[in-house]
């Protein structure tokens, strides 16, 4: 069982930055971890993902060059550094974890099939 708790959301003006954190507990070595987001009336979207045992990463085209996913294994924490924020980045952001390679493949196809989820943290970007 993996427990995930996100933090770091808030309100920021367009062009600003935020760093989201996801504190993980339980066994999650060799898991795929990801950040998803969901805006009102829209489907949940995979933003970025990382393989905890190898560091391979994935980014959605909409955030490439602006967002960076990283992990601190000593702190059991996943991060999402978000720079050059736009109003369209406004959403609830969720941290997710799954041991299956299929989850890694699906997030790259825009599908949110992860086993473990955090409660979400709100990010609001004003223009």
In the predicted structure, residue 36 carries a pLDDT above the cut 90: yes
DSSP designation for 92: E
Distance CA 65, CA 91 (A): 19
Query: In 38-111, where does DSSP find H-type helix?
Result: 101-107
Distance CA 116, CA 114 (A): 6
Distance CA 35, CA 47 (A): 6
Task: Give the list of residues 6+ apart from residue 64 with CB closer than 8 angstroms, or none.
Answer: none
Higher confidence at residue 17 or residue 26? 17
Q: What is the pLDDT of residue 121?
A: 98
Mapped onto helix, strand or coil, the DSSP state of residue 91 is strand
Average pLDDT score over residue span 9-35: 94
In the predicted structure, residue 1 carries a pLDDT above the cut 90: no
pLDDT band at 94 (very low <50, low <70, confident <90, very high): very high
Q: What is the pLDDT of residue 85?
A: 98
Q: Which of 11-15, 54-58, 110-114 has the highest mean pLDDT?
A: 11-15
Q: What is the pLDDT of residue 83?
A: 98
């Amino acid at each position: 069982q993996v427990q995930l708790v996100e933090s770091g959301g808030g309100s920021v003006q367009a062009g600003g930055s935020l760093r989201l954190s996801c504190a993980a507990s339980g066994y999650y070595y060799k898991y795929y971890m990801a950040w998803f987001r969901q805006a009102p009336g829209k489907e949940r979207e995979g933003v970025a993902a990382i393989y905890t045992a190898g560091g391979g990463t994935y980014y959605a085209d909409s955030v490439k060059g602006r967002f960076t996913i990283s992990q601190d294994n000593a702190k059991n924490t996943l991060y999402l550094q978000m720079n050059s924020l736009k109003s369209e980045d406004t959403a609830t952001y969720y941290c997710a974890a799954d041991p299956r390679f299929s989850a890694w493949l699906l997030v790259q196809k825009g599908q949110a099939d992860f086993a473990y989820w955090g409660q979400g943290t709100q990010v609001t970007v004003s223009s």
